[in-house]
Structures are given as structure tokens and as C-alpha cells.
Amino acid sequence: MGEGKKFNLKIDQEICQGTGYCVRVAPELFVLETTEHANVLIVEPTQDYENQIIEAATLCPTRAITY
């Protein structure tokens, strides 16, 4: 049996506009910092977060989230 899907969650700070969509979708995974950019709280989340990761990446208007 495999280990499941692996994620390496990243936000490109150069293009993040700090809209907060990711935080609203997955507050366990993302946080808005005082720099007005989002940051990742869990770099290698488990497969349990797959739906939230995909939704956050899809909603990001600048496509700053990769996984």
C-alpha cells in the first residue's frame, strides 16, 4: 500500500497579493502576515487537506500557491 499523495505547499511571495482567500478556505494551512502576504503554516500537509489545498490554489487570483 502506498503512502498517499505528498504535498509541498508553497506561496510565491513575489506575486501574492494578500487577498486572504487561502486563509478563508484553509486557516489551518495559511496565515496572513503583517507583510500583507500569506504564509504557509504546514509545508508538508497530509492528504487529509487535499481538497482545501486545491480550492485555495484555485481561488488564488495570482496563482501564487503551488503544491
The pTM (predicted TM-score) of the whole model is 0.88
Residue position matching grid coordinates 485555495: 56
**Which domains are assigned to the chain?**
10-66 (3.30.70.20)
Q: Is 54's pLDDT higher than 80?
A: yes
Cα separation of 51 and 25, whole Å? Answer: 10
Confidence of residue 1 (pLDDT cuts 50, 70, 90): very low
d(CA 48, CA 58): 17
Res. 52: pLDDT tops 70 = yes
